[in-house]
Amino acid sequence: MVKNNEKLGASIAKNSSVFFFGTVLDKLFSLIAIVLITRYLGEEEFGIFNYALVYISFFAVLIDFGTESILIREVSRNPDGGGILIGNNILMKLFLTASAIILSFTIAKFADFGYEKEILIYLMFINLIFSPKLPTLKNSFEAAFKVRMKVGFPVLMNILGSIVLLTFVVIIIHL
């Protein structure tokens, strides 16, 4: 029993360290990207960019709907049925994503945000679907790793996502 507790303690310490340092790296790359975007766009354009980002973030909450913690708990309780639970969660998130897209586009159209903001909102939604930064489908896939206390892969994916974001920002700025 003592050996199991020692293994569990070591696993928790390792995962906590990986998560902490990975999150610091992820945030650092994201901060650099935001600083570059801010300098490139200037005050007015960055304000429009931020407006669209906040607008999309409201709908990201609808897509997540607090399912990640429930999914992790239920897969932990029933590891054999984990695949079915994760699959159902993915289907639910696809439905919620489609609903959020329709709702946000409809609101954007009727609110008359202007052409520039509408286009930016549409582009941001593409980011919402594929971004490792926002809680869309990625949380469903990460649940399988988190249940097994293997946070290295999800943390690595977040860091790579930040590096890709930073790379795109640098490329776009220098075009």
DSSP state string for 65-105: TTHHHHHHHHHHH-GGGHHHHHHHHHHHHHHHHHHHHHHHH
Cα torsion for 144, 135, 154, 165, to the nearest 10°? 150
Domain that includes residue 8, residue range:
2-173
Q: What is d(CA 122, CA 109) in angstroms, rounded to the nearest whole number?
A: 11
- The total domain count for the chain is 1
For residue range 98-138, list pLDDT tens digits in order: 888 889 888 888 888 888 888 888 887 777 666 666 666 77
Query: Between 28 and 60, where is the model more confident?
Result: 28
Mark out the alpha helices in 131-151 (DSSP H runs): 138-147
Q: Which of 115, 100, 95 is nearest to 55 (CA)?
A: 100
Mean of per-residue pLDDT scores for the chain: 83
